[in-house]
Structure 1
Amino acid sequence: MKLVYVFDAYCGWSYGFAPTLAELVRRHPDLDVEVVSGGLFTGTRRVPIGEFGYVQGANAEISELTGVRFGAGYARLIADGSFVMDSEAAARGTAALRQAAPDRIVELAAALQHAFYADGLSLSDPDTYRALAGAHGLDADALATAFASPEAAAAAQGDFTRTAELGVRGFPTLLAVEGERVVPLATGHATVEEIEQRLTALSTAS
């Protein structure tokens, strides 16, 4: 059995779920976790952030429920309102990080979200990936090149296809996958204890 984590780097609820997933992985280092980008802001949903009037209210709810904090850099983007969240670019970045350090992708996906939600950095900017590389011991030039590569673009589209095939419509979603069996463990929010209980129930039922 492995876990499949379907998230979007520009999804506030995914940002809130990141510490929970990190703790789950810390408690269960034997778990194989695949990280897939969902494609929340693509096509007609690629509009200035100011057009999403619910953002600040949702962020307050996310903070209250999960304890994550939204930083000053991000607050400036919200106040300005012109920033466009492009999930295709974020998915390319996730694919590049996944290629660079597959065994650390849970950690790096969380770092990618921190770059946006804490520091207000664009996930469409190669310099963001250079900064991430420097902070996490990766090759900055190689990561920036991978982010802009056709391979990363293809991987992003592959992630969106996989998300659809898994039937995922909301982010974040954590799934347990074993053969043809796909079982949701968390959608939107769950505690580590709740996820562990569901994993235990699955193991017992197997």
Structure 2
Amino acid sequence: MKLVYVFDAYCGWSHGFSATLREVVSRHPGLPVEVVSGGLFTGARRVPIREFGYVQGANAQIAELTGAEFGEGYERLIADGSFVMDSEAAARGVAALRQAAPDRAAELAASLQRAFYVDGLSLSDPATYRVVAEAAGLDADTVVAAFTSPEARAAAEADFRRTAELGVTGFPTLLAVDGASLAPVAYGRATADEVDRRLASRTATRSS
């Protein structure tokens, strides 16, 4: 069995789920985690953030329910409403980081969200990936080069297709996948204890 984490780096609820995912990973070090970018803000949804009037209210709710931090850097970045969240660029960044350290994909996804939601760094800017890579002890030059490569673009498109194939329509979604069988163990938000109970239930069902 493995976990498949379908998220979007520009999704506030995914940012709110980061602490739960980190705890789940720490409790189950032998359980592989595949990280897939969902493509929330692509195509016609790739517009200035001011067009999403619910953002500030949603962020306040996310902070209250999950304890997630929305930092001053982020507030400055979006203050005039002109910032455009481009999930294709973010997915290329996820792919570049995932390529550099496959076993740390969940950790790096959370770090990328922190770079945006706390530090206010654009996920379309190659410099952001240099910052995240250096903080994670990765080869920053390699990560930045990967971010701008055709392979990263192809990987982002593959992630969006994978999301559709999995039937995921909202983020974050955490799936338990065992062969051809898959079941959601978290959607939107959940505690690590709730995820553990659902995983235990899946394990009991398999062994019965």
Same fold (TM over 0.5): yes
Partner amino acid, structure 2, of 1:152: A
With normalisation by structure 2, the TM-score equals 0.98
In structure 2, the partner of 1:26 is 26
Q: Give the SS at the match of 1:92.
A: helix
Q: Cα distance, 1:163 vs. partner?
A: 0.1
Runs of 4+ displaced beyond 2 Å: none
Does the residue aligned with 2:79 lie in a helix, a strand or coil?
Answer: helix
- 1:77 shift after superposition: 2.2
SS in 2 for 1:201: helix
Cα shift readout 1:47-88 (whole Å, capped 9, x = no counterpart): 001111000110011001110110001111221100000000
Matches of 1:69 and 1:114, distance apart in 2: 8
User: In structure 2, how many angstroms separate the alpha carbons of the residues matched to 1:82 and 1:102?
Assistant: 34
How far 1:134 sits from its partner (Å)? Answer: 1.3
**Distance across 2 between alignment mates of 1:34 and 1:134:** 22
For 2:85, the aligned partner's letter is M
For 2:13 and 2:198, the matched residues in 1 are separated by 20
TM-score w.r.t. length of structure 1: 0.99
Partner of 2:185: 185
Identity %, equivalent residues: 72
SS at match of 1:3: strand
Partner Cα distance (2:14, 2:89) in 1? 17
Higher mean C-alpha displacement, 74-83 vs 10-19: 74-83
Q: AA paired with 1:161? A: R
**What does residue range 149-164 of structure 1 map to in structure 2 within 5 Å?**
149-164=149-164
The number of residue pairs the alignment matches comes to: 206
Counterpart in 2 of 1:115?
115
Equivalents in 2 of 1:91, 1:188: separation in Å? Answer: 19
CA distance in 2, matches of 1:130, 1:194: 35
SS in 2 for 1:156: helix
Show structure 2 runs of 5+ residues with no match: none
Q: Which residue of 2 aligns with 1:88?
A: 88
The equivalent residue for 1:70 is: 70
Superposed displacement of residue 139, structure 1: 1.0
Letter in 1 for 2:195: I
Q: Distance in 2 between matches of 1:145 and 1:13?
A: 29
- Which residue does the alignment assign to 2:50? 50
SS at match of 1:80: coil
